[in-house]
Amino acid sequence: MIYTVVAALSFFAPPTAMPNSAARGTALTMSEPVLARRAMLGNFAAVAALAPAAAFADGASSAAVVARSRAIYGSRVARLVDASPEAILEEKNCFTLFTTGAYPRTGNAADKPTQSALKAASKKALAAASAGDKAGANAAVKEFVKIGKITVQDTSDGAIFNPKQRRNAGAPPTSEIEAQMGSLKYALYEPVKSK
C-alpha cells in the first residue's frame, strides 16, 4: 500500500536533471517529453510488483469464523435432517458455507478429507432433493451431519450466535450479560416472560 502511494506521487515529481537550454542554444522545447510514457509505466510496474499481496489473504481460517460457521450454518443444516426436499433446496447454500467455514482451505491438512467427504455428501443431498427423493435427501443430510459432527448450537440460551438475542453485536459475552440481568435474563431472548 505504501509502495503504491509513493510510486503514484513520484510520477508527479519534477525531473532530477533539467535539460540545459544554453547548451542547445535555443529555448526549451517540448519535443522530448521530460518523463516518457514508457519510463512512467515501467516505474509503475516495478512498484506494483513490490507491493505486498495482503489483499489476497484468506481470513477464513480464524477460530472465530470456524465457530461462527459451525453455530450458524451447521445448525441450519442440522435442522434439515427430516426436512422436505424443497426445504433442503432452499438451504442449499448452508452446506457450502458450513464446509468452507468450518473446514477452511488454509486450515489443517487433516481437514481436507473431511472437507471432500462433506462436499460429496452435500452433492448427494442436493441431487436427491432436486429429484424429489425425500428419503435419499434426508439420508444424505444425516450423513453430512455425522461427517461434520454438527449439533444445533444457535438457539440454546447463552449461545453467542443466537439470532433471537436482543442485544448489540459489540456487547460483552452472553454469559456476562445474563449474570448482570439475574432473574430478568429472559428479556435477552424474548420481550415478555412466558409462563
Question: Which amino acid is residue 118, in one-letter code?
Answer: L
Residue 161 is assigned to a structural domain of this protein: no
Residue 68 is assigned to a structural domain of this protein: yes
User: How many structural domains is the chain composed of?
Assistant: 1
**CA distance between the termini of the chain:** 58
CA angle 119, 127, 107 (to 5 degrees): 10
Residue 27 is assigned to a structural domain of this protein: no
Confidence bin at 131 (pLDDT 50/70/90): very high
For residue 146, what are the contacts with CB-CB under 8 A and spacing of at least 6? Answer: none
pLDDT of residue 144: 95
Instruction: Please determine, for residue 128, whether its predicted confidence score (pLDDT) is greater than 60.
Output: yes
Mean of the per-residue pLDDT values of the chain? 77
Residue 112 is assigned to a structural domain of this protein: yes
Which CATH number belongs to the domain containing residue 137 in this structure? 1.20.120.1740
pLDDT of residue 177: 81
pLDDT of residue 103: 85
For residue 165, what are the contacts with CB-CB under 8 A and spacing of at least 6? Answer: 174, 188, 189
Are residues 144 and 121 in contact, defined by beta-carbon separation less than 8 angstroms? yes
Residue 142 is assigned to a structural domain of this protein: yes
Dist CA 137 CA 130 (whole Å): 9
Sign of CA dihedral 8, 10, 11, 12: positive
Residue 85 is assigned to a structural domain of this protein: yes
Residue 98 is assigned to a structural domain of this protein: yes
pLDDT of residue 87: 94
Dist CA 15 CA 34 (whole Å): 7
For 90-119, write each residue's pLDDT tens digit.
Answer: 999 999 999 988 888 766 777 888 889 999
Domain span at residue 132 reads 63-148
Residue 48 is assigned to a structural domain of this protein: no
Is the whole model's pTM more than 0.85, yes or no?
no
